[in-house]
Chains A and B, each alone.
Chain A
Amino acid sequence: MHIMHFTERPYKNVPEDEVIKNRSFFGVPNKFYDPKVGAELYNEYIDEACYAEEVGFDAIMLNEHHGTPFCMGAVMNVEAAILARVTKKARIVLLGNPLPTLKHPLRMAEELAEIDLISHGRLVPGWVRGAGSEQIFNNANPAYNREYFNEAHDFIIACWTRPGPFRWEGKHFNYRFVNPWALPYQKPHPPIWIPGVLSPETVIWCAKHRYPYIGLGTALPATVELWNLYGDTAAQEGYTAGSENFGYLQQIFIAETEEKAQELGKGALFGGGAQNFSRPEWTLPPGYNSKEATRRLARQSTDYGFLGVTTEKLQQSDMPTPQAGDVHQEKGKTRARLMRGEISIEEAKAKIYKNYQKAQDGLQIIIGTPKTVIPKLKMIMEVLRPGIFGLFTAQGPISEKDRLTNVRLLGQEVLPAMREIAKGLGIVDPFERAPGSRPYTSGTKRDSLVDLEALKNAPKRDESVRV
């Protein structure tokens, strides 16, 4: 089992009220950004990554978001380049670079190759479509999101594998002379993993490319369903998928006592948590969703699609007419009521934190001591059998000392237990067995990827609670 340390690297000092008032982390005005604080935090997070390597994590996972105090990794490759030099053996897993927002994918190919070289082949690049808000921030046309993604991906792989110089004349990218003098250390190119929140199109795409798919804290029943879709697609492609093709990311926080963990773990809901990552209208700019996904969304007004946006939530984001109010307006929930000034920030905050226990009950977040969290992790491992497991340090204003205690306890007590459990379950990771390396014989029953019996015992999740 390949275990990754992950943190969003939040800008912890953002005033919580501003996030709640803005109804979103994305878009909080940057007048609240203090470069002195930013400087400390970037270094704190790099130190934390080094410490994670020291206590036994196999990998440091990074991610990238723009224009938000939710995550300071605006240019994750910069952090990755530093880690390439200051860490010794941990893999550097980037989940992921938002390909559709790139205007210049050749530069991305070069940057990643340099990171792979400096780290002597420890890079695992990954790609994402980018949240809707990333398209707005980077002025990336959302109607071409998937086209940009596909072409940038194909082009970067070509940069790494096709002898140069060559010309690239694509629909969106044109290069007259491709001949990078920084090629990846790993051959034919670094292993690629793809994180996601269960867009079926992405799951199928991963299966076709034999790229491991990492569920980002996704609900277990839906994850099971999509992993089976991956498995079926893999069989059609002629190979057998197994635990080496899957990963899972879980938000977690542990401390030496239950009380302390419970107190600090509340940070997961700071500012509204992932629920307030972005506003619904920024999460779904026009064309970001496929036509099929839009059709599903249109017809299931309260059902949570893979991005957690519902038409009901979109309606709550409608701004009224300047003069007379929206003649179509409907009664909304917390965020809509806050927007209309019907409730105070304090009341909105109280509603957010009221979900803390629910979020734990549904395993959106696991909080506790090593002893209490291990059975919960075991349950997830039994259901999903992921070869890759990311432990995502809870968000919020948790001090460096407490964060490092969390990392230490994970390393000392939780990681060894997870490795034992994985062994018992026969889980292998992508470095023990290359994804897509086992052929599938047509007409035979493909390997089971998940444990449906274990799923029956798993707690049910309230999908309206997102952390």
Chain B
Amino acid sequence: MAEWTEEITHVAGSDLAIIKGGQGKPLLVLHEELGHPGWLSWHSALAKEHTLLIPIQPGLGKSPKIEWIRNIHELALWYSWVLRELNLAPLDVIGFSTGGWIAAEMASVNSKQFRKMVLVAPAGIKPPEGEIMDVFSVTARTSLNASIYDAEATPEFAKLYGGERTPEQFEAFEDARTENARLTWEPIMNNPSLQYLLPGVSGLPTQIVWGREDAIVPVSACEAYRKALKNTEVKATVFDHCGHRPEIEKSAEFIKLVREFLA
């Protein structure tokens, strides 16, 4: 039996596809800019203790595009409405890359809607050193390849997004990239006001996770996030020999870290 199901819910004025799997208290999972990468071993591991709720970002997969949402801040406001309407708050949240950025924006609006927050290499803050990779001027596959530090040492890399080059996956990538280019084209995958809003977050234990060799969002942004979240309990963990995907590049350590944090 599959470990997850996908259902379309009408919520906050729109349809929203939500992937659901596992048992226990709910954990909101906000996927990255290329979309939901598929059910991986870290999903299975966390699903033992949590009910994973993975909303598919509007405009991707079976979730219709919401035209009036024009940036990540507005998307975060809309997701907050979704949580209120579904009576899910407060709940735990984990966000990856752009999904981490969305989580941080949501926390900046209302930190009470979350119980604990995990940010995995979030975009959203302009890194003090280095630049966020321009994923929109390379192919989807190039950005995927750049997201990993050592492909041979990362068995699950070949499983991301089904692993194969199908026409359906090509289209899914382009849908995801189109929608995220629409929302994050300028400023380049960051919101200059976010770092001034994050000090407003309080009472929300936060774990930041990063790979030292992250080629998509440079690790310098990790410290920027930690500093901005100065009025809440925050811990940052940086893995060595790791790129933008600690959840599969350092899978065992990542699962242990997140399970203990969310316990």
> Which residues of A pack against B, CB within 8 Å?
136, 139, 141-144, 280-282, 285-287, 289, 291, 294-295, 297-299, 301, 311, 314-315, 317-328, 330
Nearest 9 interchain pairs by C-beta: A286-B177, A143-B182, A287-B178, A298-B167, A324-B152, A141-B185, A318-B141, A324-B151, A286-B181
CA of A295 to CA of B148, assembled, Å: 28
Alpha-carbon distance between A287 and B140 when the two chains are bound, in angstroms:
13
Partner of B145, one of A139, A294, A326, A330: A326
Q: Are A286 and B174 touching (Cβ within 8 A)?
A: yes
How far is it, in angstroms, between the C-alpha of A326 and the C-alpha of B171 when the chains are bound? 20
**Given A281-B139, A311-B167: 14 more A-B contacts, CB < 8 Å:** A144-B182, A286-B174, A287-B177, A287-B182, A291-B175, A294-B171, A298-B171, A299-B167, A318-B145, A321-B146, A323-B152, A324-B150, A327-B151, A328-B141
Q: Across the two chains, which residue of chain A brings its CB closest to B141?
A: A318
A298 contacts across to B, CB distance below 8 A = 167-168, 170-171, 174
Chain A residues closer than 8 Å to B157, beta-carbon distance: 327
Within 8 A of A (CB), among B35-75: none
For A314, the closest partner residue in chain B by CB is B139
Minimal Cβ-Cβ distance residue in B for A139? B186
**Chain B minimum-CB-distance residue to A141:** B185
B residues 126-181 touching A (CB-CB < 8 Å): 136-139, 141-142, 145-146, 148-153, 157-158, 163, 165, 167-168, 170-171, 174-175, 177-181
Contact: B182 with A322, CB < 8 Å? no
**Given contacts A143-B185, A327-B151, are A319 and B145 in contact (CB under 8 A)?**
yes
Docked CA distance A194–B158 (Å): 45
Residues of B in contact (CB 8 Å), total: 33
Q: Which residue of A has the minimal Cβ distance to B135?
A: A286
Shortest Cβ distance from residue B149 to the other chain A in the assembled complex, whole angstroms: 6
Considering the chains assembled together, what is the distance between the CA atoms of A287 and B138 in angstroms? 13
A-B contacts, 23 listed (Cβ < 8 Å)? A141-B181, A142-B136, A142-B181, A142-B185, A143-B179, A143-B181, A143-B185, A144-B182, A281-B139, A286-B177, A287-B177, A287-B178, A294-B170, A294-B171, A297-B170, A301-B167, A311-B170, A317-B139, A318-B142, A318-B145, A321-B148, A321-B151, A324-B152
List B contacts of A294 (CB < 8 A). Answer: 170-171, 174-175
User: What separation, in Å, do the CA atoms of A319 and B168 have in the docked complex?
Assistant: 21
Residues of chain B with a CB closer than 8 A to A319's CB: 138-139, 142, 145-146
**Please, which residues of chain B bring their CB within 8 A of the CB of A139?**
185-186
Q: Which residues from A are CB-within-8-Å of B150? A: 321, 323-324
Would you call B215 an interface residue if the criterion is a C-beta within 8 Å of the partner chain's C-beta atoms? yes
Chain A residues within an 8 Å CB radius of B179: 143
A315, B141: Cβ atoms under 8 Å?
yes
CB–CB B145/A320 < 8 A: yes
List residues of chain A with CB within 8 A of the CB of B163.
328
**CB-CB < 8 A to B139: which residues of A?**
280-281, 314-315, 317-319
In chain A, what residue has the closest Cβ to B143?
A: A319
User: How distant is B138 from chain A, measured CB to nearest CB, in Å?
Assistant: 5
* CB contact under 8 A between A281 and B138, given known A139-B186, A287-B181, A298-B171: yes
